[in-house]
A and B are shown apart, each in its own frame.
Chain A
C-alpha cells in the first residue's frame, strides 16, 4: 500500500503539473492514520498530502458529479469504484474523455469505524478495477469461486413474515440522516424524491412506513446500477445492512436481464433498456 501511495502522489503531481487534470480525487489524512479523508487536489504541491492505506474505503466516484461539466478530473479508483465511474459515464453524468482513471488493484481494505475487514459479504469480491487509464500497482489474482451473493442465502430462506420482521427491525433504527444516499456515488439527483414537497412521496418524520417507503424506493432507484461498493452501509451511523438489499436487487437484475452493473462503458444500464424476449412470468 505504501507503493500505491507513492505512485498516487507521483501521478497526481504529474497530472496537475502538466495540467492534464485540473482536479485529482484521492485520499488524504484525517484526524489520525486510521481515519483518512477524501482529498480533492488542485495544486501539484499538495500531492504529498495524499495517503493510501487500508482505511481509504471512500468511493471517490461520489465526488465526480460535483464539478462543472468539462472539468478534467483524475480519479483514484478501487475495484468497485471503477464500476461506479463506468455507470456515471453510461448515464452521461461525466464524459470518458474528461477523466483520467487511476486504477488501484487492492485487497484487504478495512472499515475505519469498526476496524473489520471488508470482504465479499459486504461488497463485491473483485480486487481489480474494470476501467482505468493508469494502473498504480500490478493486477492481483481475482478471488475464485466467491460470489457476492452467498451472504443472501439466509435471508432468502426466510418466510415473508420473518423477512418483513427482519427488515422492519433494521429500518426501525433509521434516523433519516440520509448518509446512505449522500455516500452513494450514484445517488446524484439534485432533488431526491424524498425531499420533494409536491408530491410528498414520504413523510419527513421517521416511522415504520415512511422509512420503508424511503428505503424501498431508493433500492429501486439503484436497481441495475448499484455496484456493490458498500459505501451506504459503511456510512450508516446506525449500522443498517443496506448492502444486503442492494445485493439482492443486483442479483435479481443480473439473473433477469443478464448484465451486471458498471462492467462496460458501452453497455446500457438494464433499467433503461429492454429485450423483446424479457420474461414476464413473475408478473402475471
Chain B
C-alpha cells in the first residue's frame, strides 16, 4: 500500500476554517490526510504545538490563517507570521525537511484554494515519505 501521510492542519476560526467549510459545502474533493484543528486565531498557535505534532508522528503540519491585513483581531496573524517563520527556521536547522511545514493564508471565501492547498501539500508530504526523525519511538532498554 502506498504511503498515506498524516498531516495536522491548524486553521483559524475566521478565515481558513470557514474556507474549509466552504470547500465542503461546495462539495470540492480533496485528500482526507489533513486533520484540521480549529483555533481562534493563527496567533493562538504555540510553536510547541508544531514540534509536538511531529513528535507524536505527524508527517506534515499545515497552518492556515487570514491573509495578512485581514485578521479578525487586526494583527494576530502578523505576530503569527514571525513566530511561524522562526519555527520553520528552527525545524530546518535541526535537520527536519522544511517542506513538511507550511503556512497558507486562506480566506473564508477561498474554499477552492483550501482544497487546492491540501492537495498540493499532501502530495508534497507524500513524496517526502514518513517522518521518522522527530517521531517518538518506543525506547529500547540500555
Roughly how many angstroms separate A155 CA and B94 CA in the complex, as a whole number?
A: 10
Q: List 5 A-B contacts (CB under 8 A).
A: A163-B93, A163-B95, A249-B93, A284-B102, A284-B103
Chain A residues within 8 Å of B, Cβ to Cβ: 155-156, 158, 160-168, 193, 201-203, 205, 207-210, 212-213, 216-217, 219-220, 223-224, 245, 248-249, 252-253, 256-257, 270-276, 278-280, 282-284
- For A161, the closest partner residue in chain B by CB is B95
Question: B108 → chain A, closest Cβ, in Å?
Answer: 19
Roughly how many angstroms separate A280 CA and B83 CA in the complex, as a whole number?
A: 11
Is the C-beta of B130 less than 8 angstroms from some C-beta in chain A? no
Is the C-beta of B129 less than 8 angstroms from some C-beta in chain A? no
Contact for A220 among B87, B98, B136, CB less than 8 A:
B87
The 4 A-B residue pairs with the shortest CB-CB distance in the complex, in nearest-first order: A164-B95, A163-B95, A283-B103, A274-B78
Taking a contact as CB atoms under 8 Å apart, the answer to whether B139 and A207 are in contact is yes
The size of the chain B interface, using a CB distance under 8 A, is 38
Roughly how many angstroms separate A270 CA and B79 CA in the complex, as a whole number?
A: 10
**B85 contacts across to A, CB distance below 8 A:** 256, 278-280, 282-283
Majority secondary structure, B binding face: helix
Given contacts A257-B82, A274-B79, 11 further A-B contacts (CB under 8 A): A155-B93, A160-B97, A212-B55, A213-B52, A216-B91, A249-B89, A256-B82, A270-B82, A274-B81, A283-B88, A284-B102
Roughly how many angstroms separate A248 CA and B88 CA in the complex, as a whole number?
A: 12
**In the complex, which residues 75-123 of chain B have their Cβ closer than 8 Å to any Cβ of chain A?**
75, 78-79, 81-98, 102-105
Question: A268 → chain B, closest Cβ, in Å?
Answer: 12
Is the C-beta of B1 less than 8 angstroms from some C-beta in chain A? no
**B69 contacts across to A, CB distance below 8 A:** 276
Taking a contact as CB atoms under 8 Å apart, the answer to whether B86 and A278 are in contact is no
Taking a contact as CB atoms under 8 Å apart, the answer to whether B78 and A278 are in contact is yes
Roughly how many angstroms separate A135 CA and B51 CA in the complex, as a whole number?
A: 44
* Max chain A Cβ within 10 angstroms of own Cβ: one of B48, B83, B98, B104: B48
